Amino acid sequence: MNISKVPNVYCDYRSPLSTRYASKEMRYNFSEQNKFSTWRKLWIYLAKAEMELGLPIKPEQIAEMETYVDDIDFEAVAEEEKATRHDVMAHVHIFGKQCPLAAPIIHLGATSCYVGDNTDLLVLRQGFDILLPKLAHVIQRLAKFSQDNRNLPTLGFTHLQPAQLTTVGKRATLWLQDLLMDERAIRRARNDLKFRGVKGTTGTQASFLQLFNGDAEKVKRLDDLVTKMAGFEKHYTVTGQTYSRKVDIECLNVLSSLGATVHKICTDIRLLANMKEIEEPFESTQIGSSAMPYKRNPMRSERCCSVARHLMFLVNNTLHTASTQWMERTLDDSANRRLVLAEAYLSADTILMTLQNITEGLVVYPKVIARHVAQELPFMSAENIIMAMVKTGGDRQVCHEKIRVLSQEAGAQVKQHGLDNDLVDRIKKDPYFAPILLELNALLDPSTFVGRAPEQVVEFLEEEVYPVLKNYKDLESGKVELNI
């Protein structure tokens, strides 16, 4: 195959998460530019704090570093890394060439994990800050959908078999409840994150103690100063060379749990689309199938399920990584984490954006829903009819037997002959039920079979959903912000 005329960008593998699915902001969060600019910021924080605590560092050295914080020569770094076989030292050397005044004090007293781990923690927290407003927007849209459809009766399903009626809005609150649990878990994981701080090669801070001539208070102060400069309130009191890899488990646990929620919601939507009761948005020019022009495939929901399935399994990597960190650390976490952490956040970002699109345009077909209810409701109304007959003086056991026989005949019509459920017509034609014919329609009103579903929707939204949404600004504008 001659690929000489194909642009180079199309001759390299590129993750679909970064080229097709995830948002620009999340892609940037895990980008090389953001990562290595953050490394440089961390070296600046360290130098500033060391200068404040009395080390011989000059303001012009820091000013020089700040000038080049975003100006990274990636080709020069790549060449340097080939020679050194060490990514951090390659960046130290190239940064030093750009900043000759500051070169002697860049990375002073630090180990590679000072920039590596602290940057990861900043990126993980920022990833949560990107996801939480998107999750809130989905919750807000589903809350409106629940409110709007709180009174619309629909078949409930247990074992995927028709069961007692619920409402379309009440079913959506079950989706909402899981999303609220995800919002709480993600926000908690975000707020639980601490900074690794300034800990040295095995976490003992020995190198910094030497820099400050044994002054332990200055070393503690250095840790606090750098932590505050990086925007964290707290740092981990103890670490090995790295922060505990159980932190990664906690982050990916909540993202994997979100994946399970979105998979369940979108599976429900796919099942309901099969029944033609609910459909995701479908543009006028959208093609559902290359061979069957009439099809309206639930492709957004299918995409959510597909990516969510990937997301749910990524946490297994973090479990294995944490369990194999020998003593103060081993390097077999590095390559795995480069893959897993980014993919988890990009995957979560993808499914939330897609679910947001789905929930903004869910289409409900009340007449189809009513038809399905009418097929099953006569069977479910048996007890109501029996009670009505008893009130007119009928014998409960006689009435029960008559309805049992008529129900079996109607069931045979449906299952064996593919006809509509005609139980109500059979009841109307049976002279035994003459005393209740005038109230039969009222006894079969679907709204009387949904229990407190409409009230439950209102109570749930007011007591649990709206208080959570108050933590977010500008939901209606789409530019959602989290109030931390």
- Closest by CA position to 192, among listed 117, 115, 251: 251
DSSP letters, 65-100, are: HHHTSS---HHHHHHHHHHHS-HHHHHHHHHHHH-T
**Rounded Cα gap, residues 106 and 44, in angstroms:** 8
Cβ atoms 122, 39 nearer than 8 A: no
- Among 159, 284, 290, 417, which one carries the catalytic annotation? 159
DSSP letters, 385-435, are: HHHHHHHTT--HHHHHHHHHHHHHHHHHHHHHH-----HHHHHHH-GGGGG
Whether 91 is catalytic is: no
- Among 86, 93, 289, 381, which one carries the catalytic annotation? 289
**Rounded Cα gap, residues 453 and 457, in angstroms:** 6
Whether 289 is catalytic is: yes
What separation, in Å, do the N-terminal and C-terminal C-alpha atoms of the chain show?
54
Q: What are phi and psi of 94, to 5 degrees?
A: -70, -40
**Rounded Cα gap, residues 205 and 269, in angstroms:** 54
Cβ atoms 453, 459 nearer than 8 A: no
| Secondary structure element (H or E) that encloses residue 20, with its range | none
| Secondary structure element (H or E) that encloses residue 13, with its range | none
DSSP letters, 209-262, are: HHHTTT-HHHHHHHHHHHHHHTT-S-B-S--SSS--THHHHHHHHHHHHHHHHH
Q: Helix (H, G, I), strand (E, B), or coil: what is residue 158?
A: strand
The residues near 311 (Cβ < 8 Å, ≥ 6 apart) are: 255, 256, 258, 259, 344, 347, 348, 351
- Residue 1 has, within 13 A of its CA and on its CB side, a CA count of 3
**Rounded Cα gap, residues 474 and 137, in angstroms:** 10
Catalytically annotated residues: 159, 289
